[in-house]
Structure 1
Amino acid sequence: MKLPDFEAWAVFAKVVETGSFGRAAADLGIAKGTVSKAVTRLEARIGARLFHRTSRKLALTEAGASARDAAARILAEGEAAEALAQDAAAQMRGRVRLAAPMSFGVLHVAPRLPDFLSRHPGLSIDLHLSDDLVDLVGGGFDLGLRIAALTASSLRARRLCTVHRSLVATPAYLARCGRPAHPHDLSDHACLGYAYLPTPDRWRFVASDGREAAVVPNGPLRANNADALAPALRAGLGLAVQPDFMIWEDLRDGRLERVLPDWSPPRIDLHLVTPPGDPRPARVTALIGFLAKALSNAPWSDPGGYARGAAAPPASAV
């Protein structure tokens, strides 16, 4: 069964209300021809004329008169539904569904949410944490945070900052096993692997002069969450490629050291991604602005910051 042509019935109601195709078109902000086509479409569908039309007069037929009140209700209900939706979208009320990577979400998103929620007591947040690539549209999410080199898609993306990654180890491990001078030397070292790297079975590095190298890591532990590698890494059981947002305190305090400082994994960035389409509800726009400001200015996102040898920032900045 085909749905009723609600748009055409609303146009018909506006013609009846204004008494003119031209005035109806002006009220609706559409062309007069579009109004005429909508009415003609309805007449073809019901098999009867809705208006007697002359150059000077527009009058309802019997069929038009019988449909007038119902069509007016369709127009009024549609306008009311739209007004209610617009009002709800403009209000800072309701729920925002946010997806984020597990470790990053626990360390740097969840601690910031109380501040946002205290500013907007009418809002709630449904925070979904996973290192899987979450389907924002299929999962019904309003926005997501992704740490990756993004590929082309229909999602709208806003880059916030570069996420620096480093090969690191404890001073004790380096004293015991030696310090590699080139990525190829890692074949002789214990490597702690993260399963969700783009190429988990091959670590890729780029030198400051543009040279590239790849090595097959081998070691005692591989996990699908970076936090799970931290105890083994800090216990000196091997080396690992870790993002600065996880290890800045260890680097600052000397518990970990950067290895191969002239080589780094391929660049990745932190992005805010949202489903396609406009406009966004005000509650979503508010959370996007809040997260963008907080995460773009995070201390660990500054390549010249304390995690790379400069003085540590005040505690309030962390």
Structure 2
Amino acid sequence: MDTLVSIRVFCQVTELKSFVAAADRLNMSPAMASKHVMQLEQRLSTRLLNRTSRRVGLTEAGQVYFDQVRPMLDQLDEAEAVVSRATVIPRGTLKVSAPVWFANPLFAGMLAAYRARHPDVVLDLDLSGRLVNLVEEGFDLALRVSAAPGDGLIARPLPPILMQLVAAPSYLAAAGRPKAVTDLNGHAMLKYALYPLRSVIVPTPDGEVAISFNEVLISGNETLLHHAAVAGMGMAVLPRWLMADDLAAGRLETVLPEAMTIRAPLLAVYPSRKYLSAKVRTFIDFIAADPLMKQASEGPAAAIDAISAGTGKGRKAGA
């Protein structure tokens, strides 16, 4: 048997978690797919897959082998395409890390549109909000709200993310609607844990103004802060993506949008520029060009282009 074919079968079975599905994708019988994996295990003198009547899973050795050979197959496909001047078809599992608040209808729509264009790519999204190690944890890509990608990583700028100060009408009715930046002093703040928002320096046409908030809730989960803001607990600085529906429905209001809108940098971060796989390249290109992405980055002309002094400039939001 052709060892390279056997490796492709093994990777396909691993990604689809099914011999039947892998065989169908590779236009062979399930029995032949099983023979290819058995031949590979005999060659390596180790079991790569645990098989039961209901599921297929990697052994420890299988995980190590898969992590090594999957990128090599991607590189081989790209090399063959370059030589033959053919179009590389993105395929395989694309493992992406992103902030918690990317779990929203706008981003889900982008994922659906990408999959419709590239049906051979399986999207594996981690939205835990933690700062992952791309290399050690096997991530292909991370989307990070940050001014810098991190040591040894490559970054491509994407359309920035608009973040705005918002509050529920019920809170503003009780606490008062600020008419100027100085009116923000003492207002209840639902604080994102990585933003030191108790004291904020806000640039205005008349110079910088220092504002002090009253922190009433601190969390590293933007979704919780979002729900607390809708409940009228206080003000919060949130990504516009996360609260677009609430703004449209009147459950939230922007507070001083001309002064308190932040245009935060969004980066697509990956481990190496060399041998960038088709699935990574096409995903980044797709997100960068998506009209909804560009629309979401448009805001007031006075939007702050970086998080001002005292509000966590350069931090990495999740991922």
**What's the TM-score, normalizing by structure 2?**
0.60
Instruction: Find the partner of 1:227 among 223, 229, 232.
Output: 223
1:231 shift after superposition: 2.5
My pick for the range that moved more, 252-261 or 94-103, is 252-261
CA spacing shift, 1:139–1:210, aligned 2, 3 Å: farther
Unaligned runs of 5+ in 2: 1-71, 80-87, 302-319
Following superposition of structure 1 onto structure 2, how do residues 83-94 of structure 1 map, counting pairs within 5 Å?
85-87=75-77, 90-94=88-92
1:129 shift after superposition: 1.0
- Determine which structure has the larger helix proportion and give its number: 1
What secondary structure is seen at the aligned counterpart in 1 of 2:210?
A: strand
Measured in 2, the distance between the counterparts of 1:226 and 1:83 equals: 38
Native 8 Å contact 1:160 1:292 kept in 2? yes
Native 8 Å contact 1:248 1:300 kept in 2? no
Which has the higher Rg, Structure 1 or Structure 2?
A: 1
Measured in 2, the distance between the counterparts of 1:136 and 1:84 equals: 17
Instruction: Find the partner of 2:123 among 116, 122, 125.
Output: 125
Q: Give the letter aligned to residue 119 of structure 2.
A: P
**What do residues 136-189 of structure 1 show as CA deviations (whole Å, max 9, x unaligned)?**
223221111111232663322222222222221122222211123555544532
Following superposition of structure 1 onto structure 2, how do residues 114-263 of structure 1 map, counting pairs within 5 Å?
114-150=112-148, 153-181=151-179, 183=181, 185-197=183-195, 199=196, 201-219=198-216, 221-263=217-259
Instruction: Find the partner of 1:98 among 96, 99, 107.
Output: 96
What secondary structure is seen at the aligned counterpart in 1 of 2:93?
A: strand
> RMSD of aligned C-alpha atoms?
3.0
Unaligned runs of 5+ in 1: 1-81, 306-318
Q: Which residue of 2 aligns with 1:74?
A: none
**What's the TM-score, normalizing by structure 1?**
0.60
Percent of aligned pairs with the same amino acid: 36
Q: Which residue of 1 aligns with 2:6?
A: none
Measured in 1, the distance between the counterparts of 2:156 and 2:74 equals: 30
What secondary structure is seen at the aligned counterpart in 1 of 2:214?
A: coil
Measured in 2, the distance between the counterparts of 1:231 and 1:83 equals: 44
1:214 shift after superposition: 4.2
1:84 shift after superposition: 8.8
Q: Give the letter aligned to residue 76 of structure 2.
A: Q
Q: Give the letter aligned to residue 149 of structure 1.
A: A
Native 8 Å contact 2:135 2:271 kept in 1? yes
**What do residues 81-100 of structure 1 show as CA deviations (whole Å, max 9, x unaligned)?**
x8994226644321111111
